[in-house]
Every structure is written in C-alpha cells, then in structure tokens.
Structure 1
Amino acid sequence: MRERTIYTKDLTVSNFFLKKGSYIYPLNNAKKVTINKHEYYQIGENEFVKVANTVERNTKVLRLKHNAFVYSKSGKAIKNGKKKLLLKKGKQVKVKANFIVKIGHSKFYQIGKNQFVKVANF
C-alpha cells in the first residue's frame, strides 16, 4: 500500500495517514463502497481508504520465464487493438498466491479482473 490518507464519508481528509506497508482490516467482509464513482474500503466508523491504493495480501510476485499472452476467463487471448496483449520475459507480475485456475486443459494464474497468464510461463 502506498502512503495515503484516510477519507471520511463526504471525502474530506481525516487527521490520520497510513504508512506504506501498513495492513488494513476492512469492515463488512472487505465489501467495496462506491463514493463519487471511486471504490473505497471502510476501515472504521466514517473512515475509508481507496481500493486503488491497496494491495491484496494473498498475492505474490513471480518473474516470467517466457513471453506470455494474457487470457480472459473464457481462455481467449485478450487483444489490444489488433495485437494480442503480451507480457515480456523477465517482467515481474503479481498473481493471486496459491490460486491456480483451470481453463480448458491449461492452468492459469489470475493477474487481474478477467486477466490470466498460463502457469507454464513462470
């Protein structure tokens, strides 16, 4: 987590700040709250932190051993225009730890919402 402020429900800045690396414990089973088109986690009474400024604890960073395409949950390569989305060899990628998804006959790590990379590429 980057060093960020804590907001109140009306998006004013509270008197508290979170240091980089701090753990937060969201309320309501980590349910996201949408305020002015931005998602927040509620961490206390009238205290919120932007979801974009947090990192899930159950992630790990892996380095690609091969160039890898990014796939959707249906198993099709995601395209950026006419070209398939490609991650280069040596790139570090955050994956959901100990969570391998089987799509068709291949195994994948989830790297984002509806984004998967084959396990064989790590």
Structure 2
Amino acid sequence: MADTPTSPDAALDPEDKKILTLARSTRARNGVAEGAAVRDETGRTYAAGTVELPSLRLSALQVAVAMAVASGARGLEAAAVVSTADAPADADLAAVRDLGGPGTPLLLAGPDGVPHTTARA
C-alpha cells in the first residue's frame, strides 16, 4: 500500500468527485463518524455510514463494500471515505482489496470533503 498526499486543488475525475460527495453527505445526514462510497465495475455507486450497534460495529467503507457485494458487484473501480482520520484503516484497505483487487484507489478526505490522501489497496 502506498499513500500519496493529494493537493486540495488536484483535479479529480468527476466520478471520484461523485463518490466523495456521496460519502460526505451520508456522513453529515446520518451524523456518523465516517461516510463512505464505492463505485463498482459497472459504475454503480453505494454509499454508507458507520454502523455502531451493541452487537455490530462496521466502518462506513465496510458497509459500502458489503452493499456492493450484496447487489452483485464483482469488482470496484474506486472507494472514498470522509473521516477525521489521517490514514485509512487496515480493515478498510483489506475490504477494498478483497473486492477491487490490489491497486484499487481509496480516497481519504476530511469532513470538508477535500481529499488529502489517496491510498492503493
């Protein structure tokens, strides 16, 4: 896994902007610690927030990947997480790698939606 800092002004692909927007709006709407979104191999998107129940704890990205799998996705093109974290969690990178394969980009953005890191699963 290699992390590459990105500039707030870096030109993002419109589809990557879309998943960042979905992740940010899900986080804000649900009032959860993280929002995430993924884009599958056909261009479909799945957005989710953190799940924190007494018996079940999942990161937003784990939920988004699970939603994609449950909907029949066979691969991922990209993933995005909006969080206060400085780096993606190892479990999140593993989930992206499991469905997307090595090298799938994971954009990590702060609560403002501006990406600061691009990791490769």
- Compute the TM-score of the two structures, normalised by the length of structure 2: 0.20
Bigger Rg over Cα? 1
Q: Which has the higher contact order (CA 8 A, sep 6+)?
A: 2
**More strand by percentage:** 1
